[in-house]
Amino acid sequence: MSLELVLFFVLAAIAIATAVGMLISRSTVYAALHLVVNFVSVAIFYLLLDAPFIALSQVAVYAGAIMVLFLFVIMLLGLENIAGELEWKKLLWPLVMAGILLVEGVFLVLQRIGQNVYVGTTGTALSDPSLMARVLFTDYMLPFQVTAVLLLVAMIGAIVLSKPEKKSATPLKPDGAKEA
């Protein structure tokens, strides 16, 4: 067994364990921490696949920015413990949807078992930032710009939603709370 295979199985075990841990944790802080470990182990998967750029972006964006924001919000609003029992009736539709996605995912995995994975030239593009940038800004220009517009829309939406109504007499929050 090669070193990479050992690493893969150890990482896979960690990734699955932390994903399950995130789902079943009673405390939201622990759930968030499980997710952080999960993100980092996925980043190491990317490293094993010779894609260090995506690995480091994964750490910087997901583990570094988004999860810090999650933790910040959890602590700011004091939501450490989820109160109350699960209401299964409300969860019906999400469960059905998740079930469909799961079946789809398992089907795709089963379909691809035994097939050779074609990595081709993208392997070098994924490790060299300048090559990657060239591919991103030529071949994938349209998806890139669509993503940018999508993010801009989300940002504007967040600003509109968080804007305090003028009629209410509540004092303005400090800037930190507003912008985070």
Partner 1 sequence: MDWWLVLEWLIKSVVLVLILLTGFAYLTLFERRVLAFMQVRIGPNRAGWQGLLQPIADAVKLIFKEELTPGSVIQPIFALAPIITVVPAVVIAAIVPWGPDVEMFGRTIKLSVADINLGTLYIAAVASIAVYGIVLAGWSSNNKYAMMGGMRSSAQVISYELSLALCFVLVTVLAGSMHAAEIVEAQRDVWFIFIQPVGGIIFLVATLAEVNRAPFDMPEAEQELTAGYHSEYAGMKFALFFMAEYIKMIAISAIAAMLFFGGYREFPLLANTWFSVDVNWWLGPIYMFAKVLVLLFFMVWIRATLPRMRYDRLMSFGWKVMLPLALALVFVTAVGILADLLWIIPVLSLAIGFVFVMLINRSLTMKAKRR
Q: Which residues bind partner 1 (CB under 8 A)?
A: 29, 33, 36, 52-53, 56-57, 59-60, 63-65, 68-69, 71-72, 75-76, 127-130, 174-176, 179-180
Nearer to partner 1 by C-beta: 92 or 180? Answer: 180
Q: How far is the CB of 65 from partner 1 (least distance, A)?
A: 6
CA distance 63 to 3: 26
H or E stretch at 4: helix 3-24
State in angstroms the smallest separation of the CB of 31 from partner 1: 13
Q: Min. distance of Cβ 179 from partner 1 in angstroms? A: 6
CB-CB contact of 30 with 21 (8 Å) = yes
- CA dist., res. 129 & res. 153, Å (int): 28
Would you say 11 or 63 has its CB closer to partner 1?
63
Between residues 165 and 175, which has the closer beta carbon with respect to partner 1?
175
Q: How far is the CB of 64 from partner 1 (least distance, A)?
A: 3
Amino acid letter at 168? Answer: S
- Token pair recorded at residue 31: 């759930």
CA distance 177 to 180: 6
Return the number of the residue (57 or 122) whose C-beta is nearest partner 1: 57
- 106: tokens are 């398992």
C-alpha to C-alpha distance for 140 and 150, rounded to whole angstroms: 15
